[in-house]
Amino acid sequence: MNRRAYLQSLVAAGAVGTAGCLRTAGSEPTTTTEEGPQFRIQTVTMELEVPWGTAFAPDGDLYLTERPGRVQRVVSESNRQELVADLTDTVAARGEGGLLGLAFHPDDSDLAYTYQTYEGDGGLANRVVRHRVSEDFARESIILDGIPASSIHDGGRIAFGPDGALYVTTGDASRGDLAQDRESLAGKVLRLTPEGEPHPDNPFGNAVFTYGHRNPQGLAWRDGTLFVTEHGPSTDDEINLLEAGNNYGWPQAKGPTEGDKFTDPIAAYTPTIAPGSAAFYRGPVSDWEGDFFFGTLAGTHLHRVRINDRNEVVEQERLLDGKYGRLRTVFTGPDDHLYVTTSNRDGRGTPAPQDDRVLRIQPV
């Protein structure tokens, strides 16, 4: 992008539409609002332990991974929470690693994919596993293995794109040099077939789609274009627009740069807010239509970004600022409402008695 046109570290506006209190699942919430769109917050489920990956099944049930190694299901009609699978004996929940991303096969809802950290013969590693949902998430196959892992910077978000490919974010595993090595799986966004093979349109003949990433943890598409959120070091968290084969600079560069060697982010945040997800909104709140949302861990707010047709950030806003602590995964449901998970039991937050929770944002 044009560096002179770059909108560096836009200052977000104050929170609006915050809820007065929460409900336990099944009760009615009480709502107070200020300026802007009016909405209420409902608790869908609670008492989770670091919910990370989220995916709705075709029947409307919500599946969640918990970082220690469990898969939970929230039944759509009752909000009843059920333990589907306990994978704690095969998952290594070390620091930021564990059972992370979750996605359903777009054409076969009995196949689910998870991103997980495990203890191998050579130490910690990450892998992408395919499961049979009808068999209590029994492992069907390991479709990609050997992703470098560490107690920090494990990436972990997985999602199927509009092209039917599986996209996987990987962190640099605390080794920044790996992000620039196109033969390494670390510090990348990968693009795979559903069977785990490198996508035939990838730029380097391997699984790598883009490189030069530090710790990307959000994937979302608009009109076929992929946007990613990424954790910076002490400065420059980023929103990046991804194009196949591009180099996003880490560790040589962070934030906007001079010259054309690296692809600049469309927004950067200093001080850092730790964006943990990404979603575009298509729902009943007309003022948010088409806006980009992500949860923030250090920022402890829900972040709304308006991106125009030229892929420039033109407006930003903080919602739920400090109300629910650390917010990680933002996603939309089959009801078109916006959902967000808290992450206060991850060792870096201050959990409330109901934490961790899944919250639903609905217009009044």
Does the pTM exceed 0.75?
Answer: yes
Please give the tally of structural domains in the chain.
1
Q: Whose CA is closest to 79, among 284, 333, 323, 328?
A: 333
Residue 294 located in a structural domain: yes
Question: Each residue of 120-143: pLDDT tens digit?
Answer: 999 999 999 999 999 999 999 999
Question: Each residue of 27-86: pLDDT tens digit?
Answer: 333 333 457 899 999 999 999 999 999 999 999 999 999 999 999 999 998 889 999 999
Question: Each residue of 173-208: pLDDT tens digit?
Answer: 999 999 999 999 999 999 999 999 999 999 999 999
Q: Catalytic site residue 153?
A: yes
Question: Each residue of 224-233: pLDDT tens digit?
Answer: 999 999 999 9
What pLDDT, on the 0 to 100 scale, is given for residue 5? 34
What pLDDT, on the 0 to 100 scale, is given for residue 16? 34
What pLDDT, on the 0 to 100 scale, is given for residue 283? 95
CA distance 248 to 241: 10
Query: Residue 62 corresponds to which tokens in the numbers above?
Result: 């919500």
- Model confidence at 18: pLDDT above 50: no
Which residues form the domain of 359? 7-363
Burial class (CB in 10 A: 0-12, 13-18, 19+), 218: buried
Please state, as a whole number, how many other Cβ atoms lie within 10 Å of the Cβ of residue 257.
16
Vertex 244 angle, CA 112 and 102, to 5°: 15
| β-strand partners of 295 | 302
Residue 1 located in a structural domain: no
Specify the DSSP class assigned to residue 349: S
Please state, as a whole number, how many other Cβ atoms lie within 10 Å of the Cβ of residue 24.
10
- The CATH number of the domain holding residue 345 is 2.120.10.30
The catalytic residue among 153, 199, 213, 231 is: 153
Contacts of 92 (CB under 8 A, 6+ apart): 98, 117, 118, 119, 124
Task: Name the one residue in this structure whose structure tokens are 């670091």.
Answer: 50
Percent of the chain with pLDDT over 70: 91
Which helix (H) or strand (E) segment holds residue 77: the answer is none
